[in-house]
């Protein structure tokens, strides 16, 4: 297991990796900023211009916005996760500063929030607007996969999602289907179009709602799972897209909040290559495994899955040809974390299954830049994690 491979040893983190209840936003200020900030410096990757094109609407993205690869055939995503933004002064301000700093460095084409974004009970709309303004003030669109804590307050989940879809620059579209047809809210397909021909899709992003809490008795894990009709929805979308592309699946990534059971399976397999930090006492998976991972295998399109939920997990493993990745905790002071804050960055190459990913820390440094799948499948030194 390649934990803390060049910076830390597990023993030094034991006192900080104590798991706190996700239901209790207990302030924990054991931040590793000083330690992690000592990582070797490296030049930021290529700066890309955000590209939003307001054009014709399509069946998957009713906002009418089109995301396209740039002329170099690259498309960059910054994943912010578990911000837990609240109104209380000072609690979230540092998270806002970090997000602003990271976007100034990375200049991505898209921001994706993978849940537990706004956890205030007071005025969620105002806080969501603050969070949304961070990318949109730079002309960067964003998308949201809801987390279990996004609807902990008095405002129900459907109303929270209405707030989200009403935000300027948000690529999520209002829910069309009933809960009986497709469970959850933030289930969404976002196509990324080719650089040269903006009418042709190149890659696909799937967002899922990993939901909040089930109400079944006699099981200690109360976090929900991705329901069967959501998987059916994905299968239908994926098959339709593959058919459209003459039988060849578009390379795709999936984003949601609660990790799949396969994360634990892959991370604990003998000889597992873990690129990053696994400090959260395992994986906080949902109550049951409903089979989304096997659906990904069957469709053959998704090559990377990106989640949040476990604030002190920030790793990538590779399992059956799919990268199972965590985002990097981007949140405020009102919830548990031991890691230095930051964000995961993903850089796609047009129409290819290969992508790069790294963690950009609040210090401005980046760590664990890897190329998926080569870092896991090749012995070529050029694919080793850097720095």
* Of residues 82 and 301, the one with the C-beta less far from Fe ion: 82
Within residues 63-102, the interface with Fe ion by CB under 5 A covers: 82
- Closest approach, Cβ 236 to Fe ion, in A, equals 30
Nearer to Fe ion, 284 or 304 (CB): 284
Kindly state whether residue 150 participates in binding Fe ion, applying the rule CB under 5 A: no
The Cα 340–Cα 33 span in angstroms is 5
C-beta of residue 211 within 8 angstroms of C-beta of residue 224: yes
Minimum Å distance from CB 327 to Fe ion?
A: 10
> In this complex, which beta carbon is closest to Fe ion, that of residue 82 or of residue 224?
82
Indicate the residue among 82 and 312 with the shorter CB distance to Fe ion.
82
Site string for Fe ion, 174-193 (x = CB under 5 A): --------------------
Classify residue 267 by burial, with Cβ atoms within 10 Å: 0-12, 13-18, 19+.
Answer: buried
Residue 152 binds to Fe ion (criterion: CB under 5 A): no
Q: Choose the binding region for Fe ion from 52-60, 116-124, 241-249, 297-305 (rule: CB under 5 A).
A: 116-124
Cβ proximity to Fe ion: between 109 and 116 the closer is: 116
How far CA 254 is from CA of 5, 138, 257, in Å, comes to 27, 24, 10
Is 212 a binder of Fe ion (CB under 5 A)?
A: no
Counting contacts by CB under 5 A, is residue 347 touching Fe ion? no
Binding residue for Fe ion, selected from 109, 116, 223, 224, defined by CB under 5 A:
116
DSSP class per residue in 151-175: G-SSS-HHHHHHHHHTSTTB-----
Residue 260 is classified by DSSP as: P
Footprint of Fe ion on residues 312-331 (CB under 5 A)? none
Judge whether 347 and 357 are in contact, CB under 8 Å: yes
CB of 311 to Fe ion, least distance (A): 6
Quick check: 106 binds Fe ion (CB under 5 A)?
A: no
Q: Measured from the CB atom, is 85 or 182 closer to Fe ion? A: 85
Rounded Cα distance between 138 and 108, Å, is 10
Q: What SS3 class is residue 176?
A: coil
CA proximity to 342, closest of 387, 308, 303: 308
Q: Which helix or strand (DSSP H or E) is residue 34 part of?
A: helix 33-36
Q: How far is the CB of 90 from Fe ion (least distance, A)?
A: 19
Footprint on residues 270-289 left by Fe ion (CB under 5 A): none
Q: Is residue 262 within the footprint of Fe ion (CB under 5 A)? A: no
Compare residues 152 and 356 and give the one whose CB is closer to Fe ion. Answer: 152
- Say how far apart CA 354 and CA 27 lie, in whole Å: 39
- By rule CB under 5 A, what count of residues binds Fe ion? 2
Number of residue whose CB is nearest Fe ion = 116
3-state helix, strand, coil in the chain (%, to 5): 20, 25, 55
Task: Pick between residue 274 and residue 307 the one whose CB is nearest to Fe ion.
Answer: 307
d(CA 262, CA 91): 33
Which chain residues interact with Fe ion by CB under 5 A?
82, 116
């Amino acid at each position: 297991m390649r934990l803390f491979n060049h910076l830390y040893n597990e023993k030094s983190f034991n006192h900080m990796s104590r798991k706190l209840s996700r239901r209790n936003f207990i302030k924990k200020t054991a931040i590793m900023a000083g330690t992690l900030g000592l990582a070797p410096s490296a030049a930021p990757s290529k700066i890309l211009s955000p590209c939003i094109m307001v054009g014709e609407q399509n069946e998957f993205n009713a906002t009418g916005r089109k995301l396209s690869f740039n002329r170099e055939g690259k498309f960059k995503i910054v994943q912010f996760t578990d911000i837990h933004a609240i109104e209380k002064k000072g609690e979230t301000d540092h998270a806002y500063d970090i997000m602003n700093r990271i976007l100034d460095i990375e200049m991505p084409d898209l921001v994706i929030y993978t849940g537990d974004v706004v956890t205030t009970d007071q005025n969620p709309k105002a806080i969501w607007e603050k969070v949304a303004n961070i990318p949109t003030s730079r002309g960067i669109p964003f998308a949201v996969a809801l987390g279990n804590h996004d609807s902990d307050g008095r405002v129900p989940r459907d109303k929270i999602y209405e707030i989200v879809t009403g935000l300027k620059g948000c690529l999520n579209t209002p829910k069309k289907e009933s809960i009986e047809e497709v469970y959850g809210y933030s289930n969404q397909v976002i196509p990324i179009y080719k650089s040269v021909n903006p009418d042709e899709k190149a890659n696909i992003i799937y967002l899922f709602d990993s939901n909040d809490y089930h109400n079944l008795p006699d099981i200690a894990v109360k976090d929900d799972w991705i329901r069967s009709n959501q998987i059916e929805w994905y299968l239908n979308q994926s098959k339709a897209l593959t058919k459209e592309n003459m039988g060849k699946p578009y390379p795709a990534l999936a984003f949601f909040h609660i990790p799949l059971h396969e994360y634990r399976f892959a991370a604990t397999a003998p000889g597992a290559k873990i690129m990053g930090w696994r400090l959260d006492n395992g994986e906080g998976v949902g109550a049951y495994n409903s089979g989304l991972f096997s659906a990904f295998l069957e469709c053959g399109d998704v090559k990377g899955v990106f989640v949040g939920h476990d604030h002190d997990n920030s790793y990538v493993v590779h399992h059956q040809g799919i990268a199972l990745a965590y985002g990097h905790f981007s949140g405020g002071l009102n919830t548990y974390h031991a890691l230095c804050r930051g964000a995961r960055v993903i850089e796609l190459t047009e129409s290819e299954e290969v992508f790069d990913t790294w963690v950009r820390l609040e210090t401005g440094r980046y760590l664990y830049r890897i190329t998926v799948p080569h870092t896991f499948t090749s012995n070529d030194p050029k694919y080793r994690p850097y720095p």
